[in-house]
Structure 1
Amino acid sequence: MKSITITILETSDVHGNIFPINYGNNEPAGLGLAKIATVIKQERSRNPNTIVIDNGDLIQGTPLTYHFVRSNNKKINPMIKLLNHLKYDAAVVGNHEFNYGMKVLQQVIEESTFPWLSANILNDKGNPFIGKPYIIVDLEDGIKAAVLGVTTHFIPNWENPDHIKGLTFGDAFETTKKWVEKIRKQENPDLMIVSYHGGFEAELETGEPSEKLTGENQGYLICKEIDGIDLLLTGHQHRTLAGTVNGVPIVQPSFNGQAIGKVTLQLSKCDERWKITEAKPEILFVSEIEVDNRSIELVEEYEKETQAWLDQPIGQVIGDMTIDDPLKARLYDHPLIEFINKVQMDVAKVAISNTALFNNISKGFPSKITMRDIVSSYIYPNTLSVIRISGKDLKEALERSAGYFMLENGEVVVNPSFTTPKPQHYNYDMWEGINYTFDLSKPIGERVVELTFEGKPIRPDSKYDVVMNNYRAGGGGEYLMFKDKPIIKDIPLDMTELIANYILKRGTIKATVDENRKVIW
């Protein structure tokens, strides 16, 4: 009986990370595509029957990629330059591929020597908007591997509408089911791989829901209810997963280029058909892997330009806008959060704003501010929207945020629903322009004990114009009370640019707190 080993490698949610550094301080970090490149080259040299797929969220996420797009650079996108060099077989469109607009995405697709896939993102004629739902990879001994690309259909809940104009996002599960049946019938592949930029909505072992079943993640449903899938590559959730669901091998390789997913399949020929006799899914972390020097050389020029841009002085702070304890910055009014809200209100010309401290790494602004400080504190390429909401919506949003905290033995801790299966600190909002108090001794959903605007209680049926980032305005982070609300104004500039412009105009900014928000317990 003849047998062949096939290796499938998956990157996902690389988010613009090539170099093994933290751009906030330039300290070494055990991640990046330059390290992953070493693994890919090693695996290809060991086994010519190797398929390499990127599963989405590739071109956005670091100052390197942001500066490249911002500078209207005529050169090829650095991420694409590397994937071309590494001879990727295909890439799947992720939700963050749309962040810089359709023109940038189309350029990325044109520059790629590999096809981009997404079966469920459709143009106005009802066809896959990039033309390719799947590819066939021909391997040794005539083995045919089909790779179907699918993207979470939840994108309209987050993305700037101008960036996805004319597109329809079909249900990922239903699209996968349709195309797997079609490919099986028309192509008769020996191997059916689905690369899904989405994650798992349920516990892999039990099937118990692990999040609200919004449709954002459908990996468990795909494995459970679609026949004919030999391997599911996943992402989007930034989790580290390797295992099987309903007999289907699955991987999800972390995020920011910290790891690569590897699935080793043993195929044996029996009765003129190839069958999978063994499957080994695993995650290879690259922290101890040396960088691939050729990959570094290819993009070194981009990095030098980025570093020079990051160190440009912007202005200075009077007072203290640094963060030494992220939990305290969320519990008590903090100058950095107040400042960001002030920028948003100034740009939008409204009196109420919300924002978040996106992670626990941000150090805030030192006394002398550079672009590096801004991009390390405001890490997402958000734009702003002003939406009109009711007092009832506003209170519901505050209750959602108040659920971020829990009490354990009288101490305030973060609710695990905001940390598991991935950290979601960015879903705790802090507001400016209103006065409010959370009482953590009360049940979740009943914690807002004071809520006023301009000295008067906020009425459930009154209307208020609020500025917030586009992700939140679309209902992202389970803030469904904001979804489909009237959009009064869109501010299309990236928030880092708005912050930089605000500081450049003034030269000096002051660290202030008006103590409009309180948390008691």
Structure 2
Amino acid sequence: MTRSDETTQKALSRARVRLRLAATSDLHMNLLGYDYHTDSAAPGVGLARVATLIARAREEVPGLLLFDNGDFLQGTPLGDHAAEAPRPHGKAHPMIAAMNTLRYDAVGLGNHEFDYGLDVLETALSGAKFPVLSANVLRRRGADPLRDDPLAQPWVLLDRELEDEAGVPRKLRIGVLSLLPPQVLHWNSARLGGRMEVRCMIEAARAHVPALRAAGADVVVALAHCGPSDRPETQGMENALLPLAAIDGIDALVAGHVHRLIPGPDYAALPGVDAEAGRVSGKPVVMPGIAGSHLGLIDLWLEPQAPGWRVSETRAELRSIARRGARGPEELVEEAPAVVAAVAKDHAATLAYIRRPVGHSEIALHSYTSLAAPCPVLHAINMAQRWYVRRALPDASLPVLSAAAPFKCGGPAGADNFTDVPPGPLSLRDIAAIYPFPNEIRAIEVTGAQLRDWLERAAGAFNRLTPGTPGQPLLNAAFPRYDFDVIAGLEWEIDLSRPARYGHDGSLQQPKSARVHNLRHDGAPVEDEQRFIVATNSYRIGGGGLYTPLAEAPVVLSEPTGSRDVLMRYIADAGPLRGPVPPSWRFSPLGGACEAVMESGPSVLHHLGAIAESGALQVRAGPLGEDGFQRVHLLL
């Protein structure tokens, strides 16, 4: 290298600009460190604490850009109350008010933004002082993505002037686009049908990224409301992070939707993902958990080139608002007073709302062993759904069953993510803890063969176990707990010595394998050609849970009645919830002292005695892990 070349290289290196991107995702209306389902403080969640981390990150690197990656309007009773209660003219939705306070630069839509319908969404977003983006949610599809009529603007260009390492001001233009799973149209078909359309995320990005570059973007950031998957690229796929990251022209991505962490250990074995460094297809990526557990930060070092800039170095990191202590999450940062003040009135109104009495329960309603034993939470939901459908279809000649899955049952959301309602008076907050989503009641007609396959899909929740081997993990960590449907009105066994027919993502893995045995209704074997009515919810028959055949089943009941309203009406009509919870399914005995280990919440210890006395399981307590999960040993 000549002296002239060395001088040029040094000048270029000093001309580098550091651009910092900060991101939240999947906040799910967790604004404060408060759990409305238990009516108590929760130091491990909340945008108010993330706000403190945002302020620190801004102090470290001037010119920080702040984004959110969707699923911010739904998820707690605060969100339900904000959607239902009339708002005074000019008063912003509490989440939007908080985001305005924190000066978000752009926000992408997630699938749960549509849970309350378009009218509620548009009213909430009307108070936003930042651009709201979505490149693949449309009012009408055009001949190609660039001729679509979008519901929100597909992308935005943000102009910034930042000092380089020599102190010289430099102008940058940052392009930001947003994408969400096209399955949202099926998941919320009752509210969205005929009012909007969707396009494949990958197809939309491949069209809009060149458009962003042509419009002068020096850097392109994708707010991708999806996670990575080991499945090959397909049109309309839900978790498309890998093919999106591989698109030429995208420099950095914010991921979400699946509530996991990047950087972190969650995807360490997935090809194309450098989980520790936070890179997917070579691009820097952050996925900041759920409920405000983390702030994602991406630093890009940019060098000038002709024309524009090139990314010369990157770094991705997560910063947590809490650490796991022996008694649960322990806060690492204080809540930002500005955010607390922005939502104080809505918080107080929500507390009054959730404390309304709605009934009584004579039994504890907990989900600590929902994936191992008869579950009182699922029993309550199923009893209410069957009651409602039988009343709504009094002339039905077919047997009425009911399907329900545990919504709060550990998983990526952590050891505090369980329902635990003690016996006694029930308030609206308890109903929300049992049923946290604004689904609606549905009923479909299915065959015995479909029922058996439906239960096979649910049986993918478990690992294959080797008889005679102790200490084997029971649960497939990749399987979403909310896909484990229990169908009341049937009895069956699950043989864990056999491989699962379906993978964790709903893909057919072992077509000839059968874990489900002795499937019976009223004591008689279920025949393939038999027909049944199954009470369920709008999410499940819209294809939610990746069991798509249910989306094709004939719908025999479709009403705008919320699933939580069904539960409250049932309690008001039938009186207190009572036990015992009847067994509907069990594991087939494996023999040879086969012992499995299940992760549960620490308070499961209060219920192990009752479980053992019921005869549903042979259980004993194991150790409490550093991750906060209580290990429970099951003798199969």
Q: TM-score, normalised by structure 1?
A: 0.91
Q: SS in structure 2 opposite 1:330? A: coil
In the alignment, the residues of structure 2 paired with residue 353 and residue 82 of structure 1 have an alpha-carbon distance, to the nearest angstrom, of: 40
- The superposition leaves residues 479-505 of structure 1 with CA deviations (integer Å, 9 ceiling, x where unpaired) of 222122222222323322322232234
Letter in 1 for 2:248: D
Other-structure match for 2:384: 343
1:331 to 372, 397, 414: 372
Give the superposition deviation at 1:338: 1.8
Letter in 1 for 2:238: E
The change in CA–CA distance for 1:233 and 1:494 in structure 2 (over 3 A counts) is: same
The change in CA–CA distance for 1:211 and 1:517 in structure 2 (over 3 A counts) is: farther
In the alignment, the residues of structure 2 paired with residue 117 and residue 493 of structure 1 have an alpha-carbon distance, to the nearest angstrom, of: 31
Other-structure match for 2:462: 405
In the alignment, the residues of structure 1 paired with residue 61 and residue 190 of structure 2 have an alpha-carbon distance, to the nearest angstrom, of: 44
User: In terms of mean alpha carbon deviation, does 9-18 or 235-244 score higher?
Assistant: 235-244
2:22 matched to 1:13? no
Give matches, 1:6-405, under 5 Å. Answer: 6-25=19-38, 26-74=40-88, 75-124=91-140, 126=142, 127-140=148-161, 141-185=170-214, 187-202=215-230, 209=231, 215-224=237-246, 226-242=247-263, 243-271=278-306, 273-287=308-322, 288-318=332-362, 320-323=363-366, 326-327=368-369, 329-349=370-390, 351-360=400-409, 361-405=418-462
In the alignment, the residues of structure 2 paired with residue 456 and residue 262 of structure 1 have an alpha-carbon distance, to the nearest angstrom, of: 58
Q: SS in structure 1 opposite 2:341? A: helix
Give the superposition deviation at 1:442: 4.2
In the alignment, the residues of structure 2 paired with residue 413 and residue 212 of structure 1 have an alpha-carbon distance, to the nearest angstrom, of: 34
In the alignment, the residues of structure 1 paired with residue 372 and residue 227 of structure 2 have an alpha-carbon distance, to the nearest angstrom, of: 31
Q: Does the Cα contact within 8 Å between 1:312 and 1:370 map onto a contact in 2?
A: yes
The change in CA–CA distance for 1:272 and 1:397 in structure 2 (over 3 A counts) is: closer
1:470 to 538, 559, 567: 538
The change in CA–CA distance for 1:373 and 1:257 in structure 2 (over 3 A counts) is: same
Q: Does the Cα contact within 8 Å between 2:137 and 2:152 map onto a contact in 1?
A: no
In the alignment, the residues of structure 2 paired with residue 372 and residue 212 of structure 1 have an alpha-carbon distance, to the nearest angstrom, of: 41
Letter in 2 for 1:31: V
In the alignment, the residues of structure 1 paired with residue 83 and residue 374 of structure 2 have an alpha-carbon distance, to the nearest angstrom, of: 34
Q: Does the Cα contact within 8 Å between 2:298 and 2:316 map onto a contact in 1?
A: yes
In the alignment, the residues of structure 1 paired with residue 141 and residue 205 of structure 2 have an alpha-carbon distance, to the nearest angstrom, of: 19
The change in CA–CA distance for 1:134 and 1:189 in structure 2 (over 3 A counts) is: same
Q: Does the Cα contact within 8 Å between 2:199 and 2:236 map onto a contact in 1?
A: no
Letter in 2 for 1:258: S
Give the superposition deviation at 1:212: 10
- The superposition leaves residues 113-155 of structure 1 with CA deviations (integer Å, 9 ceiling, x where unpaired) of 1111111111135334324110000011321110011111122
Q: Does the Cα contact within 8 Å between 2:185 and 2:192 map onto a contact in 1?
A: no
The change in CA–CA distance for 1:442 and 1:193 in structure 2 (over 3 A counts) is: closer
In the alignment, the residues of structure 1 paired with residue 18 and residue 582 of structure 2 have an alpha-carbon distance, to the nearest angstrom, of: 64
In the alignment, the residues of structure 2 paired with residue 90 and residue 160 of structure 1 have an alpha-carbon distance, to the nearest angstrom, of: 27
Letter in 1 for 2:376: P
The number of aligned residues is: 507
Give the superposition deviation at 1:244: 1.7
User: In terms of mean alpha carbon deviation, does 435-444 or 135-144 score higher?
Assistant: 435-444
Unaligned ranges ≥5, structure 2? 1-11, 143-147, 162-169, 264-277, 323-331, 394-399, 410-417, 501-512, 590-636
Give the superposition deviation at 1:415: 5.2
Q: SS in structure 2 opposite 1:139? A: strand
User: In terms of mean alpha carbon deviation, does 3-12 or 477-486 score higher?
Assistant: 477-486
In the alignment, the residues of structure 2 paired with residue 164 and residue 81 of structure 1 have an alpha-carbon distance, to the nearest angstrom, of: 29
In the alignment, the residues of structure 1 paired with residue 524 and residue 549 of structure 2 have an alpha-carbon distance, to the nearest angstrom, of: 22
User: In terms of mean alpha carbon deviation, does 398-407 or 15-24 score higher?
Assistant: 398-407
In the alignment, the residues of structure 1 paired with residue 116 and residue 569 of structure 2 have an alpha-carbon distance, to the nearest angstrom, of: 19
Question: CA RMSD, aligned part only?
Answer: 2.4
Q: Does the Cα contact within 8 Å between 2:48 and 2:335 map onto a contact in 1?
A: yes
The change in CA–CA distance for 1:289 and 1:177 in structure 2 (over 3 A counts) is: same
In the alignment, the residues of structure 1 paired with residue 229 and residue 57 of structure 2 have an alpha-carbon distance, to the nearest angstrom, of: 31
In the alignment, the residues of structure 1 paired with residue 461 and residue 180 of structure 2 have an alpha-carbon distance, to the nearest angstrom, of: 29
Higher relative contact order (CA 8 A, sep 6+): 1
In the alignment, the residues of structure 1 paired with residue 122 and residue 534 of structure 2 have an alpha-carbon distance, to the nearest angstrom, of: 33
In the alignment, the residues of structure 2 paired with residue 305 and residue 12 of structure 1 have an alpha-carbon distance, to the nearest angstrom, of: 25
Q: SS in structure 2 opposite 1:502? A: helix
Q: TM-score, normalised by structure 2?
A: 0.75
In the alignment, the residues of structure 2 paired with residue 493 and residue 395 of structure 1 have an alpha-carbon distance, to the nearest angstrom, of: 28
In the alignment, the residues of structure 1 paired with residue 472 and residue 432 of structure 2 have an alpha-carbon distance, to the nearest angstrom, of: 28
User: In terms of mean alpha carbon deviation, does 92-101 or 261-270 score higher?
Assistant: 261-270
In the alignment, the residues of structure 1 paired with residue 226 and residue 373 of structure 2 have an alpha-carbon distance, to the nearest angstrom, of: 35
Q: Does the Cα contact within 8 Å between 1:261 and 1:282 map onto a contact in 2?
A: yes
Q: Does the Cα contact within 8 Å between 2:225 and 2:255 map onto a contact in 1?
A: yes
The change in CA–CA distance for 1:166 and 1:14 in structure 2 (over 3 A counts) is: same
2:488 matched to 1:432? yes
Q: SS in structure 2 opposite 1:298? A: helix
Give the superposition deviation at 1:416: 5.0
In the alignment, the residues of structure 2 paired with residue 487 and residue 259 of structure 1 have an alpha-carbon distance, to the nearest angstrom, of: 41
Q: Does the Cα contact within 8 Å between 1:119 and 1:149 map onto a contact in 2?
A: yes
Other-structure match for 1:449: 517
Task: Give aligned-pair identity as a percent.
Answer: 29
Give the superposition deviation at 1:263: 0.7
Runs of 4+ in 1 over 6 A off after TM superposition: 210-214
Give matches, 1:407-426, under 5 Å. Answer: 407=465, 409=468, 416-417=475-476, 419-420=477-478, 424-426=480-482
Q: Does the Cα contact within 8 Å between 1:201 and 1:211 map onto a contact in 2?
A: no
The change in CA–CA distance for 1:442 and 1:403 in structure 2 (over 3 A counts) is: same
In the alignment, the residues of structure 1 paired with residue 139 and residue 333 of structure 2 have an alpha-carbon distance, to the nearest angstrom, of: 41
Q: SS in structure 2 opposite 1:9? A: strand
Give the superposition deviation at 1:272: 5.3
Q: Does the Cα contact within 8 Å between 1:3 and 1:266 map onto a contact in 2?
A: yes
Letter in 1 for 2:181: T
In the alignment, the residues of structure 2 paired with residue 426 and residue 164 of structure 1 have an alpha-carbon distance, to the nearest angstrom, of: 24
Letter in 1 for 2:383: K
Q: Does the Cα contact within 8 Å between 1:311 and 1:372 map onto a contact in 2?
A: yes
Q: Does the Cα contact within 8 Å between 2:44 and 2:293 map onto a contact in 1?
A: yes
In the alignment, the residues of structure 1 paired with residue 155 and residue 200 of structure 2 have an alpha-carbon distance, to the nearest angstrom, of: 17
